[in-house]
Amino acid sequence: MTQDELKQAVARAAISFVQDGTIVGVGTGSTANFFIDELAKIKHRIDGAVASSEASAARLKQHGIPVYDLNSISELSIYVDGADEVNKYRQMIKGGGAALTREKIVAAVAEKFICIADESKWVDILGKFPLPVEVIPMARSHVGRQLVKLGGYPVYREGTVTDNGNIIIDVHGLQIAEANKLESAINEIVGVVTNGLFAHRPADIVLLGTKDGVKTH
């Protein structure tokens, strides 16, 4: 099976968690795109969606799925999104697509976070994938220096502007043993909007696409 076929399989599996008549939280990235395409097939059963990026909102609208502002709803039963890395505690690194802040906001509102990923994303220790940090542009150098003090090698992601008008710094060389602590420490740096560690809010369910089928963690 190709990686895309594994992504498609988990996207399809996630549909079984969608309840009729609800608004669905939708993430960002290639795996989330497969989920959006699956969601379109059952769009008559749902009320609409909340998106974690402009790109996902556009794809949902192309399919004729109504997209709601997060501020206009009071509850969200599920949020379905991909990950760049996920471990056995269902903690994740996210933000490869630069949507980490909105992803974290929608995930915070959702009752259940369902992570959909192909098996290449499964890791023992988080940190091989460079950790994305969303930063207010004028704080770029300051934040970079503080990230070095935390043991990382910050690299400015040139040419990327987030949906919130900010920049991304990718932190290389981290071996993340205590994800909760590192998530908090980075968020305490002045100028950081948020970072792509999802340790305080891990996924509730991970659907992992493997050659032997979709496995649930």
Listed residue (110, 107, 121, 101) closest to 53, CA to CA: 101
Is position 121 annotated in a ligand binding site?
yes
Is position 83 annotated in a ligand binding site?
yes
Is position 96 annotated in a ligand binding site?
yes
CB of 188 to ligand 5RP, least distance (A): 22
CB of 4 to ligand 5RP, least distance (A): 10
Question: 147 vs 27, 73, 154, 184, 194, CA distance in Å?
Answer: 27, 36, 7, 13, 13
CB of 44 to ligand 5RP, least distance (A): 26
Is position 28 annotated in a ligand binding site?
yes
Looking at the Cβ atoms of 10 and 143, the one nearer to ligand 5RP is 10
Bridge-based pairing of strands 85-86 and 192-195 is unpaired
CB of 21 to ligand 5RP, least distance (A): 26
Interior/surface letters 166-204, b for 16+ CB within 10 angstroms, e for the rest: bbbbbbeebebeebeebbebbeebebbbbbbbbbebbbb
CB 8 within 8 A of CB 34: yes
Is position 191 annotated in a ligand binding site?
no
CA 201 to chain centre: 11
Looking at the Cβ atoms of 84 and 183, the one nearer to ligand 5RP is 84
Active site residue 111: no
Q: Token pair for residue 205?
A: 């369910």
Looking at the Cβ atoms of 148 and 161, the one nearer to ligand 5RP is 161
Bridge-based pairing of strands 167-172 and 192-195 is unpaired
Question: 14 vs 10, 34, 100, 204, CA distance in Å?
Answer: 6, 10, 20, 13
CB of 85 to ligand 5RP, least distance (A): 9
Looking at the Cβ atoms of 17 and 47, the one nearer to ligand 5RP is 17
> Which residue ranges make up the site for ligand 5RP (CB under 6 A)?
27-31, 81-84, 94-100, 103
Listed residue (113, 119, 81) closest to 99, CA to CA: 81
Is position 127 annotated in a ligand binding site?
no
Annotated catalytic residue, options 103, 111, 119, 158: 103
Looking at the Cβ atoms of 82 and 152, the one nearer to ligand 5RP is 82
CA distance 208 to 210: 6
Residues with active-site annotation: 103
| Residues annotated within a binding site | 28-31, 81-84, 94-97, 121
| Residues annotated within a binding site for substrate | 28-31, 81-84, 94-97, 121
